Structure 1
């Protein structure tokens, strides 16, 4: 019985730490203090580190639900008639979520090397969700054939991180994203 009690305590600690971490990351982004999370959750720093051995592990756990929503949204858009519009709508959703969920951009960040995706479950999920939308837009001739989903997500991460401390980060991030997509040419 003591073993079952320990597991139940560990599950409660995990849930409490995760709830506190979500609030801290929302308030302070990826720089949220692990020590403050431990204090607020009323557990020791070692308990936090046992559940989340790295900051990335904590950010991934906090971001899991939002990433899952983005995965589902990509599936919904897969049947749209305009492949480019579907891809851009989904990428716009990624921008919105990265701005709203401080820390999500950091959780998604990864090297441009394909092997690094396996080390980051958030990035891997986003990659797997968005790549079919991109491939369809490429097949339709609406996106340059050498474009990768990794490049598009990296662009979004950069924009989000650059705008997160500005006034109106959502408006600024979306404007920069539209600028990156449409280029510098004036509208005709």
Structure 2
């Protein structure tokens, strides 16, 4: 990935450990109880004091940003892993399936950040650039081997995938069935 992410893990080992504990605890708490989970609860789950949380994340938005970036980094790393392990179409399809799973589970996180930062913020621009870079790698490989239609553009595919996950009560199984329809449409 050539575009630097908007938040990074600290360099010192103890600070990095606390950062990772806090981001993991926040991700789990947000998944269980929503993004309005108290910061005190997140610090308790991470096994650190509230002062440690506030030293690294001065407010809720900073913590939400860190969780979001961590998730986007996973989405991007997954693309590169699939590119190394699978054939071009299978890599693209596997990545889009993981992307749907991620998007269905993270709507409230992205929604709250959009309210706090604005959808056109530099933060989201950088995250989108990284996702596009990872997705273009997969799409270009699938185009090169002829397993997808040549006229396809990544943003069109991502908008279709985003549309699948926009339903308020979208069931993950239904989202994946709809994605299967989209994937069939990508083939020549």
TM-score for both structures, normalised by structure 1: 0.61
Q: What aligned pairs does 1:33-182 form with structure 2 within 5 A after superposition?
A: 33=36, 36-41=38-43, 42-43=49-50, 46-47=54-55, 49-50=57-58, 53=62, 55-65=64-74, 67-77=76-86, 80=87, 83-99=88-104, 101-102=105-106, 106=110, 119-120=126-127, 123-162=128-167, 165-166=169-170, 169-182=171-184
Counterpart in the other structure of 1:4 = none
Distance 1:161 1:37 in 2: 28
Residue-by-residue CA offset, 1:5-42 (whole Å, 9 max, x unaligned): xx7775454233212212123224xx512x61344314
Give the paired residue count. 161
Aligned equivalents of 1:181 and 1:8: distance in 2?
43
The equivalent residue for 2:3 is none
**5+ residue gaps, structure 2:** 1-11, 44-48
Q: In structure 2, how many angstroms separate the alpha carbons of the residues matched to 1:66 and 1:98? A: 10
**Structure 1 residues 133 and 61: CA distance shift in structure 2, 3 A:** closer
The CA deviation string for residues 37-72 of structure 1, in whole angstroms up to 9 with x for no partner, is: 344314167446338637334311255345423431
- What corresponds to 1:15 in structure 2? 20
User: Structure 1: how far apart are the matches of 2:180 and 2:148?
Assistant: 15
Distance 1:153 1:105 in 2: 18
- Change in CA separation of 1:95 and 1:23 when aligned onto 2, cut-off 3 Å: same
Contact 2:75 2:131 in 1 (8 A): no
Compared with structure 1, are the counterparts of its residues 66 and 27 closer, same or farther at alpha carbon in structure 2 (3 Å cutoff)?
Answer: farther
Report which structure shows greater RCO (CA 8 Å, sep ≥6). 2
Unmatched tracts of structure 1, length 5 or more:
1-6, 184-188
Which structure is larger by alpha-carbon Rg, 1 or 2? Answer: 1
Asked whether 1:32 is paired with 2:40, we answer no
Cα distance in 2, alignment partners of residues 84 and 16 from structure 1: 36
